[in-house]
Structure 1
Amino acid sequence: MFPQGNLPENHLNISSLPWVSFDGFNLNITGNDDYFSPVFTMAKFQQEGDRVLLPVSVQVHHAVCDGFHAARFINTLQLMCDNILK
């Protein structure tokens, strides 16, 4: 999972599992208790009537991000998605 050499100071991980859908997703990074970068994972989208649903998982280390900031990100992402077709 990790590249050779040092990671850039400000980085994040984005992953996609377009073959499956999920209600929750957890990526266990062993041996790295100080891994503070956020991990964003998307799954297979589904159409329900006139809505498109895309599962998104956000995994953060509590030392650098709490629930307030995670919720703020998710709510902003939802607003942006709601306004795509407007």
Structure 2
Amino acid sequence: MARYPCSAGWLVSPWPSFNGVGYINIDLWHITVLISAKTPNLEGATVITAAPPAEACTEQYVDAANATLEAEGLNTTGEGFAPITVTLKEGGT
């Protein structure tokens, strides 16, 4: 949680992903739900009006996807990952 202290930190997909691709930080997900339920917009409405059901946040499909990818010999955790250096140039070229 220290790396992405904002409530929407679970949206960020950091690499490497030590558990495998697609997993979210469940604590940050719960914080996002709480904020979405309690923070009104300009009209006074909130993004969600009731707590989502337990099955709204499941790792069932992520587990299956990682198992399939690993069975195909693909790296899902980023083991050995080294970032490249990117030089930004004016004009986007």
TM range (shorter): under 0.3
Task: Select the structure of larger CA radius of gyration.
Answer: 2
Q: Could you tell me the TM-score, scaled by structure 2's length? A: 0.25
**What TM-score does the superposition give when structure 1 sets the normalisation length?**
0.27
Higher relative CO (Cα under 8 Å, sequence separation at least 6) belongs to 2
Higher helix share: 2
